[in-house]
Chain A
Amino acid sequence: MEENPDKKSTEELTTGEKPGSASLVGRVKESSTALKQRAIEEVKGYADPQDTQLWKSIFRVSHDRSDPRNRSLAVLSNVFLHLHPAKINRDAVRYPFTWGMGGITFYLFIVLTFTGVLLMFYYHPTKADAFRDILYLEHDVPFGKLLRNMHRWAAHLMVITTWLHMFRVVLTGSYKRPREFNWCVGVVLLVLTLLLSFTGYLLPDDQLGFWAVTVGTNMARATPMLGSEGPFGVQLGMTPFNDVRFGLLGGSIVDSNALLRSYIWHCIGIPLVASIFMAVHFWRIRKDGGISGPAPVMLESEMKAIKKK
């Protein structure tokens, strides 16, 4: 019989099956074996996750230890790591040089943001609630005490690490050209760190915070020209109800407005400003040529004469 590919047999047309093939059971078996084979092949492909589309879509590059280019790409193509250069001075990773204080300060800022956000869930910045919320945190919220303690101690630690970071930068002369401006950004960050810590001090609304802030803001009264008790303040029309202290506290005494202002500065205002300065600080480290050393020592005899303009 002549084979005509276009013409289907009667059997095929009625049952949808080619004539002469095996029984239904046989065919199911056959296709399931094929499917199994295909699954095994596919699973073998997943053995290396780096070959998957998911991995590639996230990380873009595979982690190939033997390929130096990949190690660089791992850093450069990652948003969290791209603050780093791909390669650094071999001695820069030695602990005694940097003391790790700048990095630890940044890490503590992250810890403080994390614990701070959690604390915000339990805290109302009002005179009626603030102190009770702290008691609630300490006694009823699961791990609330741990949370508050961590926030407090991380804040203190951050002040210490900021100072030590500054100390190291001076001892290694890292503020020198071309990093002068970044040092200034750092000084601003130091002040912001202290202000962050200070604004947080009032929030528990206890005697400790209340009197610390009272003492602190009383000094603002004495601001020259802007304070009611400062030099030339009275002459310029400053009273306790319109001077700089009034602006800081939102009133002439440390009360509910002061609590709210301090809360907003602490949780939104200063962190926002500090984040911007931090972005500049880190970006400038890269743009100014990475961390300063350990650099080869320069000799007195190699000092160049100053260029005359």
Chain B
Amino acid sequence: MAGRFSLSKGTLITLGAVVALVLLAVFFVEDWHQLWKISSAPDNVPIVAMLFLVPFFTWLGIKQSRDNDRLIVALEQDPKLSKTSHRKTEPWRPGWAKEIHVWPYLVRIEFLAAVIVTFVLFVWSIVLNAPLEEPANPNLTMNPSKAPWYFLGLQEMLVYFDPWIAGVVMPSLIMVGLMVFPYVDSNPLGNGYYTLKQRRFAVGMFVWGFLMWILLIVIGTFIRGPGWIWFWPGQTWDHNAVVFDKNVDLHDWIATSRIGKTLHLGFLAADPWKFIFGFLVVSGFFILGALFFHWLMTVDFKKLSLRPLRLFPQDPFEQKLLARTSLLQYLTFQFFAVSVLLAMPVKLILRLALTIKYVWVTPWFNI
């Protein structure tokens, strides 16, 4: 029955998420004061704002992408229409000018934006004071001692990687990776308009990275308490809490596990086998990771099924794009994708769920 108040799928999902969040909060938040203290800390206000801004602008982008995608489908099906249409979702009628004067049509918007931003800043600055702690004191360590919120992603990465990776290599890889983004994207479509259908992989990869970055910041802001210990939102930050560091290296973990013992893998814990083992694990990770991204790049999600088993249906459009990609572009993308986009969450899961410290131990560096 199509009622008058039918809800779209997106609205339902959003509503469901909100309800789930409220229920979670009601049942699991023990210490509302702690939660309030974290989210109302003046320097955390921006990240709280991001929690609303990012979903809003993601929605705004997806909405326009969907509109354009519908238009693209319609035009692909009707060649005659594609010759006559002005090819935008924005209205246009013959006789309307395609271009408008910057003065006043753009300048007035810029002026208005400046006025609004100024107003917002004034209100924000009157209502909320910039934080000022006690004078700097090298003898009194702040606990938790946190970087500014936009660098909390890096600080959180310190949990999963050694400082030279988390603090130096990863940021450099992210920067260079962002810079090569336009050069490895060989897709000529979707230049200057929102679309998901024509650019699902490129957009997907960026959103993956962007959301991962935001997620790390959220963990760093809301979850990491004194001693950088994991406190769920709503748990009291216990300054006396102690977590016994029971993290083990992957080779030890396997060597001492029940399976490892039955298979007589004890030698993995000794030199030089642990070095060789770690090297193999990391190489294997790169190969498997690259295969995974290749699959993600070309698979046709609509034809994917378990019964009958079809795991590798190819999407003809994505195949076409792949054919346009040079080997250098492909390999560059794979390098950055595996070593940043995949390595980060994999190490996070290994560390948090399986308490693995390093996967590759060498005399010079550990990964």
Q: Which of B141, B188, B203 has the most CB of A within 10 A?
A: B188
Total number of A residues with any Cβ neighbor in B under 8 Å = 106
Query: Interface segment, A48-56, A88-96, A276-284?
Result: A88-96
B72 within 8 A of A: yes
What separation, in Å, do the CA atoms of A114 and B6 have in the docked complex?
A: 51
- Chain B residues near A183 (CB-CB < 8 A): 179, 181-182
- Chain A residues near B54 (CB-CB < 8 A): 164
- Chain A residues near B136 (CB-CB < 8 A): 131, 205-207, 209-210, 254
Nearest B residue to A92 via CB reads: B106
What separation, in Å, do the CA atoms of A229 and B75 have in the docked complex?
A: 60
A154 within 8 A of B: yes
Query: Interface segment, A26-34, A38-46, A216-224?
Result: A216-224
Contact check, B193 vs A153: say whether CB atoms are below 8 A apart.
Answer: no
**CB-contact partner of A177 in B105, B148, B191, under 8 A:** B191
Known contacts A198-B148, A292-B192, A296-B88; A90/B50 CB under 8 A? no
Total CB contacts across the A-B interface at under 8 A: 294
Closest Cβ of chain A to B300, distance in Å, is: 14
Residues A56-93 near B (CB distance < 8 A) = 68, 71-72, 74-75, 81, 84-93
Contact check, B164 vs A215: say whether CB atoms are below 8 A apart.
Answer: no
- Chain B residues near A96 (CB-CB < 8 A): 60, 64
- Chain B residues near A222 (CB-CB < 8 A): 162-164, 167-168
B247 within 8 A of A: no
- Chain A residues near B154 (CB-CB < 8 A): 219
Contact check, B98 vs A90: say whether CB atoms are below 8 A apart.
Answer: yes
Total number of B residues with any Cβ neighbor in A under 8 Å = 105
**CB-contact partner of A220 in B151, B162, B168, under 8 A:** B168
B24 within 8 A of A: no
What separation, in Å, do the CA atoms of A138 and B151 have in the docked complex?
A: 27
What separation, in Å, do the CA atoms of A304 and B320 have in the docked complex?
A: 11
Contact check, A157 vs B320: say whether CB atoms are below 8 A apart.
Answer: no
| Chain B 156-199: CB-based contact to A (< 8 A → 1; otherwise 0) | 00100011101111000001001101110101111111110011
| Chain A 156-193: CB-based contact to B (< 8 A → 1; otherwise 0) | 11011001100110111111110110011001001100
B86 within 8 A of A: yes
- Chain A residues near B302 (CB-CB < 8 A): none
Known contacts A172-B193, A215-B147, A230-B168; A296/B87 CB under 8 A? yes
Residues B115-140 near A (CB distance < 8 A) = 117-118, 121-122, 124-126, 128-138, 140
Query: Interface segment, A1-9, A10-18, A99-107, A263-271?
Result: A99-107
Q: Is chain A's binding surface mostly helix, strand, loop or mixed?
A: helix
Contact check, A299 vs B82: say whether CB atoms are below 8 A apart.
Answer: yes
What separation, in Å, do the CA atoms of A167 and B199 have in the docked complex?
A: 14
**CB-contact partner of B121 in A150, A175, A296, A303, under 8 A:** A150
Contact check, B324 vs A172: say whether CB atoms are below 8 A apart.
Answer: no
B145 within 8 A of A: yes
Contact check, A174 vs B88: say whether CB atoms are below 8 A apart.
Answer: no
Residue ranges of B at the interface with A (Cβ–Cβ < 8 Å): 43, 45-46, 49-50, 53-54, 57-58, 60-61, 64-65, 68, 71-72, 75-76, 82, 86-88, 90, 92, 96-107, 109-110, 113-114, 117-118, 121-122, 124-126, 128-138, 140-142, 145-151, 154-155, 158, 162-164, 166-169, 175, 178-179, 181-183, 185, 187-195, 198-199, 202-203, 206, 210, 317, 320, 324, 364-365
Q: A96-B60, A294-B192 are in contact. List 10 more A-B contacts (CB 8 A).
A: A97-B194, A148-B130, A150-B125, A157-B121, A176-B190, A206-B134, A215-B145, A223-B167, A299-B76, A300-B76
Residue ranges of A at the interface with B (Cβ–Cβ < 8 Å): 68, 71-72, 74-75, 81, 84-97, 99-100, 103-104, 107-108, 111, 131, 134-135, 138, 145-146, 148-154, 156-157, 159-160, 163-164, 167-168, 170-177, 179-180, 183-184, 187, 190-191, 194, 197-198, 201, 204-212, 214-216, 218-224, 227, 229-232, 253-254, 292-301, 303-304, 306
